[in-house]
Amino acid sequence: MCDVSARAMTIPRVSFVALILTASRVGLAQVPAAPPAPAEPTVPTVPALPPEPALPAAPAVVEPAPAPAAAAAASPAPPQQPPAPPAPPPTSALMNVVSKFTVQLYGFVELDMIHDSTQSFNEVAGDALIARPGTYGAEHSRMMFSVRNSRIGLRVGGPSTSDIKTSALIEMDFLGNQPSNPPATNEAAFFTNPTYRVRHAWMKLETPVVDVLAGQTWGLFGWQAYFDPASVQIQGLPGEVFTRPAQLRLSHTFKSEPVNLELAVAASRPPQRDGDAPDGQGGLRLMFNEWKGYRTVGSAGTSLDSAALGVSGAVRNFTVMEYSATPASSEHATGWALSFDALLPVVPASKEHHDNALTVTGSFATGTGNSDLYTGLSGGVGFPRITNPDGTTTAFTPNIDNGLVTYDAAGNLHTIDWSSYIFGAQYFLPFGHLWVSGNYSHMHSPNTDDFGAAPASVMTDSTFIDGNLFWDPLEGVRFGGEYAHFEQQYADKVKAKNERIQVSAFYIF
């Protein structure tokens, strides 16, 4: 960590005192000493304070006896004592002059070693489709070494008043979009020369009336990342609501000793820019201040947090070009989503004493036109080809991502439904700086195959289960291992499966 303001306060003070002392030494060295006078003591270069005087009338400073006229004429006057340097200004004044901002560096270095039983995923599995049985990808395994989830961030504290507190944060990792995924171009470049990307970039104003957050960060829907589980693999997990949209959020927390109640609304990046309206989100969260749970969010963030219950919702608009080879008009649809979330410390803990701490998390989400609220979820849903008058077909290229909506053969627009639940538990062993976690999720769509898609191409159900072991041998050093089972069912009832074993190392600062 680095504190820019602290450094700025120290440097001017030391430099000023050093300059004064240096100047005084130089001045004294340039003054010649007076020659000794006959039968008199040597004249000192700088008058010195004598011991306690024996005579009442003795002066505080003893002057040397006058030298003979010739010697006195040839000798310069003794130098005067240099004035004491002025007292440095108080620390707070220096801080205000030099900088009104504090900056804190944080992040972690991460190495992921991943083995998958199929060739279906990169490091982030999320809700991407598993290779269907009988295909090449389903019958062959994959091994990856990657540092792309390493992360670096800056927390900034800005000028504040008695009523307004300002802050900001920017955080980056290396999982950004690259020109092409392997093996289309160069697999070595994909993993060893990753692209920097923005995870969080926001500013916040906190006032007694309302808190204002503007920028990109965790979505209000699902009250992320407060209710997220612990896993070694990179989140979001299958069936886990996981988004970081650009947004403008207004919130207020009503505080009391036993509980805090937070209310919030947000205008977020829409799932479709041509929908011409922001994603509207709102939520309520109740936190129990005296009921604390010790837990890890993701793989690197361990903290002590209050038990909490949350509910949140989203409403979105879709405006899709008409189902035609030469579209001239649009079709409209409305999507929505609801999420219910809980964090419950079954065995409460404190930051200093968390042996045997047991914390559980749970989330249930449902909606329609909501696939973008998960990680990489499309379910295989696309758009049907257009049948031309001569019987040939033409690909339809819509102005929206796949998986949110689709057309039926008659040209009617439909939203795709998804419901999910995920439960997680983590237990801190009373020895060895060890803890374990496990997660289970399931998600279902009742209508992915209702609009003409081939049953073998779309997914209706997904199940995920994992177990994790974490070890902290030293402060800031963490190792983790995970076994995970992924299973998806296609609309024709065929099941695709993937087994993942992952070992990761972290240096957290």
- Which CATH number characterizes residue 439's domain? 2.40.160
Task: Pick the range with the lowest mean pLDDT from 87-91, 391-395, 469-473.
Answer: 87-91
Residue 451 in this model has a pLDDT that exceeds 60: yes
Position 120 in a domain? no
Residue 96 in this model has a pLDDT that exceeds 60: no
Task: Give me the pLDDT at residue 74, please.
Answer: 42
Residue at which a domain ends, from 93, 116, 133:
93
The alpha helices in 290-359, defined as continuous H runs, are none
Mean pLDDT of the chain: 85
Biggest CA pair distance of the chain: 131
Task: Give me the pLDDT at residue 179, please.
Answer: 64
pLDDT tens digit string along 138-186? 999 999 999 999 999 999 999 889 899 999 999 999 999 876 666 555 8
- 325 and 462 housed in the same domain: yes
- 389 and 241 housed in the same domain: yes
Q: Do 235 and 195 meet the contact criterion of CB atoms below 8 Å apart?
A: no
**C-alpha gyration radius of the chain:** 35
Residue at which a domain ends, from 93, 120, 139:
93
Task: Give me the pLDDT at residue 88, please.
Answer: 53
Averaged pLDDT for residues 57-65: 41
- Nearest partner of 229 among 217, 241, 218, judged by Cα: 241
Task: Give me the pLDDT at residue 389, please.
Answer: 85
Task: Give me the pLDDT at residue 181, please.
Answer: 61
Averaged pLDDT for residues 425-447: 97
Domain count, the chain: 2
- 230 and 82 housed in the same domain: no
Position 125 in a domain? no
Give counts: helices (H), strands (E), the chain: 5, 21
- 248 and 394 housed in the same domain: yes
Position 189 in a domain? no
Position 136 in a domain? no
Residue 503 in this model has a pLDDT that exceeds 70: yes
Cα 378 to Cα 398, 463, 491: the distances in Å are 15, 16, 14
- Angle (deg, nearest 10), helices 91-98 and 4-29: 110
* Residues in contact with 497: Cβ distance below 8 Å, sequence separation at least 6, in sequence order: 117, 118, 130, 485, 486, 487, 488
Residue 13 in this model has a pLDDT that exceeds 60: no
Residue 136 in this model has a pLDDT that exceeds 90: yes
Q: Do 245 and 219 meet the contact criterion of CB atoms below 8 Å apart?
A: yes
Position 160 in a domain? no
The DSSP letter of residue 230 is B
Residue 290 in this model has a pLDDT that exceeds 90: yes
Q: For 322-329, which contacts have Cβ atoms below 8 Å and span 24 or more sequence positions?
A: 322/411, 323/383, 323/386, 323/396, 323/407, 323/411, 323/413, 324/386, 324/411, 325/386, 325/388, 325/394, 325/396
Task: Pick the range with the lowest mean pLDDT from 89-103, 140-154, 267-281, 316-330.
Answer: 89-103
Which domain covers residue 450, as residue numbers?
219-508
Position 204 in a domain? no
Strands (E) across 298-357 are located at: 301-321, 330-347
Retrieve residue 192's tokens: 């060893």
Task: Pick the range with the lowest mean pLDDT from 86-90, 112-116, 200-204, 315-319.
Answer: 86-90
Q: What amino acid is encoded at 47 in this protein? A: P
Percentage of the residues of the chain whose pLDDT score is greater than 90: 73
pLDDT tens digit string along 183-207? 555 888 889 989 999 999 999 999 9
Cα 389 to Cα 385, 393, 397: the distances in Å are 13, 9, 19
Task: Give me the pLDDT at residue 32, please.
Answer: 41
Averaged pLDDT for residues 333-350: 97
Q: Do 129 and 172 meet the contact criterion of CB atoms below 8 Å apart?
A: no
Position 200 in a domain? no
Averaged pLDDT for residues 76-80: 54
Task: Give me the pLDDT at residue 100, please.
Answer: 84
Task: Pick the range with the lowest mean pLDDT from 22-26, 204-208, 276-280, 409-413.
Answer: 22-26
Residue at which a domain ends, from 39, 70, 93:
93
Task: Give me the pLDDT at residue 183, please.
Answer: 58
Task: Give me the pLDDT at residue 351, please.
Answer: 83
Place of tokens 């769509």: 445
**What's the whole-model pTM score?**
0.79
Q: How confident is the model at residue 70 (pLDDT cuts 50, 70, 90)?
A: very low
How remote is the C-alpha of 459 from its chain's centroid? 32
Task: Pick the range with the lowest mean pLDDT from 51-55, 211-215, 436-440.
Answer: 51-55
What's the 3-state SS for 414-452?
EECEEEEEEEEEEEECCCCCEEEEEEEEEEECCCCCCCC
C-alpha 166/C-alpha 213 separation (Å) is 10
C-alpha 128/C-alpha 443 separation (Å) is 13
Residue 433 backbone class (left: φ over 0; alpha: ψ -120 to 50; beta: rest): left
Place of tokens 């926001």: 202
59 burial level (CB within 10 Å; 0-12, 13-18, 19+): exposed
Q: What amino acid is encoded at 415 in this protein? A: T
SS3 261: strand
Residue 41 in this model has a pLDDT that exceeds 50: no
Higher pLDDT, 1 or 262: 262
Determine how many CB atoms are found less than 10 A away from the CB of residue 294: 24
Residue 5 in this model has a pLDDT that exceeds 60: no
pLDDT tens digit string along 348-365? 998 889 999 999 999 999
Residue 85 in this model has a pLDDT that exceeds 70: no
C-alpha 119/C-alpha 503 separation (Å) is 18
Position 177 in a domain? no
C-alpha 162/C-alpha 164 separation (Å) is 6
What's the 3-state SS for 376-402?
CCCCCCCCCCEECCCCCEECCCCCCCC
